Structure 1
């Protein structure tokens, strides 16, 4: 049992550190996932949405530090109780998401590894079993260093995590696991390979029966009562087919689609702001000077946002912005880049550079 307990200890500790570091590489992305959970349709904790980034940073740093504490045997009771309570909560959360199909990706490993809801739940159940083994056999969990050395290791890890969090928030993720990483051709990313499996849908009819709405599939039409009142019909996804890595990228201006035209541009600068109201005013204030420099070097300069026209007009006037903002889906823009605003350089649809507004001075224009 001592050997089994320590094997479980190593597995849990390493997994918590890896999972935490992957999310710590991109805490803004993890905060977007937390916002999904806080949404009214999931946990109905919308008052927490403004604090999602703070929660994200705290959770991922705590996850890494707990992994280190478990491995070195520091503050054993606090570590084991924290691990147990955390995994019980996340097991409930992933089960809730999977059973009610609320959040399709838990974000456990950021964009590095996508898990389905049921895969996330299974992973948490396995972790729960491993942690229970350690918890009930904690007499076998011993410090591997002296108390001072173990404490120094833990607090050094905490400090390094804090520095990493600060760096990626002020710049960009160190490793980009997203579909829009540098070198990606957006047009190719949207292609569907020949023979790729297609999604399968089932037609569902909704009728009001005895005052209550009831669903009938297209194979159950003979079961619909004669006095039932038709309400609606919908297509229900039975099996999802192939989804290309990039599938929601469009750029529209005044109702017209300019996606193809812009992806053919040999030199294109895009300023990304999924929400201009939440964009850094300091960052927006840097864009016009950069835009003029880029235009002098032959670049077409545009903005991309999901904000409405009145907000666009307000921000353009406030910061003296002369370029047009094209409409793009907010989720797509969040996926392209985390900073708000951020700078993306494309050449005929291929992403050549990406930068946080803090690093706009380091963007190279040909």
Structure 2
């Protein structure tokens, strides 16, 4: 009697555990497929040829796991069910032992993100399950089926259909239950914060010394030990894990600059996430374009996050006429944020308001903001953004003197060897000439394409093209001043351009933004007209620093501003 009750308890316990484990993974099959890809990697099981089939295998495994749990409880084909359970648990036990012993995969994914387990916890769990399943296998004759044979078949069939339907739903949308750190309502900045008094990690420092020809190890908690021997090296060992915030790997970067804080403090931000543009679902981008164009007109800021390089980004922007820029974020982080490639996240000052699969782009709620501009010319914006790419195509490479770094940079930009070899200045000048013709046509026929017409930062592109063709500054400087006065472009940018033009004409500059260098005299600020009033003019133009502070930043903190005259410059 006791044996039968024990068998009944173990049977139900194992069945429920398989059902829960299967359901959690079926809720997020894409996440489980990422975990399988970790196991398939060369440094783990080295079966990378299975990686392209990871998603299909993930769905099959979790459906089988869930159906077996139901089959065990109702006693459906109990011998076949027990054999399949036994084989599955033996396989998983081997996998978790391998991960734990060799420290290959830090989380087996047994319960998805709902209950992260360490490798040894996963192995222990599988050993307990293996013992239970072997116990049931030995006592299989005591497992009595529930319901009739026909009813059991109906239950299994219904379970299978339900699993397929649910799996298809979450693939076409997003997980029904979000167990990850980036769920709706979470503030990313707060998720990265370590609370006061949180436990810190404890390390052992194993110092190796050569003492009288013999190597000895002295262990401390960090301080350098007193030893008369010759120091060889030191290795650290984690004794106690410290507090790890739920979000600890989120950054937004571009061209070596960190924009994380900026965008986490941006209200009304739409973020398009595509961890790998080479694997993206291309039929999703027309929907994304329609959504983001609408968002831009309604006053939202829009950015893209990807782990792909500039070449892939530029290819996408050209093919899909995308009107927003991309920034770099780690691929694993992007996969964690949203299980869609591309996916959509709506943020407000770092708080996740909505998160949707591209199939559900129409569910993103966009209200008309005070900064809305329904007359935004997105066609012109895209044209200017394309010009900006070619305006900077070779300039970063030309600024790099190291040949290997130059090659790596060119490849990152998607340039072929024949494109980044030879006379690059000649190639860039040809592009500048082409860009200039287009920009001049826009300026002459439409006026300055400012913030109200093409948004930010596209409103700077026409000015930058003219800046790279300084002979044209005189023709358009008044147009730029007018645009700056209307708030279409920053006054500081026009002030710098005007100073540059005046210096080219051997005239005194107005704002002190231009400096030169000579072998004999080093850095010097180009002469300034009415120098006593320069700081007032700088303030009116939007410069945050005085001329004295600017000189200290430019030439060193000990440098002092020296006002020169044109007559002195000519004698240098």
Change beyond 3 A, Cα 1:358–1:144: same
In the TM superposition, 1:13-52 aligns within 5 A as 13-52=15-54
Change beyond 3 A, Cα 1:283–1:206: farther
Asked if 1 retains the 8 angstrom alpha-carbon contact of 2:307 and 2:328, the reply is yes
TM-score (norm 2): 0.60
Question: SS at 2:299's partner residue?
Answer: coil
Output one character per residue of 1:182-225: Cα deviation in whole Å (capped at 9) or x when no partner.
00000100110111111223446799xxxxxx9967569999x9
Asked if 2 retains the 8 angstrom alpha-carbon contact of 1:202 and 1:217, the reply is no
The aligned residue for residue 252 of structure 1 is 253
Change beyond 3 A, Cα 1:303–1:205: farther
How far did residue 123 of structure 1 move? 0.8
1:264 pairs with 2:227 = no
What is the CA–CA distance in structure 1 between the aligned matches of 2:359 and 2:302, rounded to whole Å?
A: 19
What is the CA–CA distance in structure 2 between the aligned matches of 1:206 and 1:308, rounded to whole Å?
A: 43
How far did residue 15 of structure 1 move? 0.6
Change beyond 3 A, Cα 1:364–1:150: same
How far did residue 317 of structure 1 move? 1.3
What is the CA–CA distance in structure 2 between the aligned matches of 1:201 and 1:185, rounded to whole Å?
A: 31
In the TM superposition, 1:319-334 aligns within 5 A as 319-334=320-335
The aligned residue for residue 158 of structure 2 is 156
In the TM superposition, 1:185-224 aligns within 5 A as 185-203=187-205
What is the CA–CA distance in structure 2 between the aligned matches of 1:308 and 1:255, rounded to whole Å?
A: 13
What is the CA–CA distance in structure 2 between the aligned matches of 1:256 and 1:38, rounded to whole Å?
A: 34
Asked if 2 retains the 8 angstrom alpha-carbon contact of 1:65 and 1:154, the reply is yes
Question: SS at 1:181's partner residue?
Answer: coil
Asked if 2 retains the 8 angstrom alpha-carbon contact of 1:269 and 1:300, the reply is yes
What is the CA–CA distance in structure 2 between the aligned matches of 1:206 and 1:271, rounded to whole Å?
A: 50
Output one character per residue of 1:34-66: Cα deviation in whole Å (capped at 9) or x when no partner.
111111111111111111111110000000000
More divergent stretch after superposition (300-309 vs 198-207): 198-207
What is the CA–CA distance in structure 1 between the aligned matches of 2:47 and 2:268, rounded to whole Å?
A: 44
How far did residue 147 of structure 1 move? 0.6
The aligned residue for residue 96 of structure 2 is 94
Higher RCO (C-alpha under 8 Å, 6+ residues apart): 1
TM-score (norm 1): 0.92
Asked if 1 retains the 8 angstrom alpha-carbon contact of 2:293 and 2:323, the reply is no
Output one character per residue of 1:235-255: Cα deviation in whole Å (capped at 9) or x when no partner.
443322100000111101111
Question: SS at 1:145's partner residue?
Answer: coil
* Aligned partner of 2:179 among 169, 177, 181: 177
Asked if 2 retains the 8 angstrom alpha-carbon contact of 1:305 and 1:328, the reply is yes
Structure ID, larger Rg: 2
Change beyond 3 A, Cα 1:275–1:74: same
What is the CA–CA distance in structure 1 between the aligned matches of 2:163 and 2:216, rounded to whole Å?
A: 51
More strand by share: 1
Say how many residue pairs are matched: 358
The aligned residue for residue 408 of structure 2 is none
1:365 pairs with 2:366 = yes
Output one character per residue of 1:280-318: Cα deviation in whole Å (capped at 9) or x when no partner.
001123222211110111110000011111111111112
In the TM superposition, 1:286-365 aligns within 5 A as 286-365=287-366
